[in-house]
Amino acid sequence: MWARALCLKYSCSELPDMKYAIVFLVILLGVWLWRKNRADDRNEAGAQPKPKSATTSTAPQVMVSCALCGVHLPKSEAFSGKAKHYCSLAHRQQREP
């Protein structure tokens, strides 16, 4: 409806030029917002550097497999049996009553 009102006021041949100008402005606005957002993210990342200390890194753990089901898990979390390791108490009790 507004296009028809514009057509009556202006020559209809001028309207396509306005369409391209509006599309161009919308694209410029989108690029500007995108770049502004990226700059803000970079500023936040630079303002809060994460300390890298030796205490935060963990040493590799020895992995063992469950004698019943074969699941691999860290030795510190495994349940030890007579000579084997198990992933749960139920598996240890099944194998070693």
pTM of the model: 0.41
Contact 79, 54 (CB under 8 A): no
Q: Residue 13 pLDDT > 90, yes or no?
A: no
Residue-level pLDDT at 31: 95
d(CA 52, CA 65): 33
Residue-level pLDDT at 85: 92
Extract the tokens encoding 11.
Answer: 């020559």
Q: What is the mean pLDDT of the chain?
A: 80
Contact 79, 69 (CB under 8 A): no
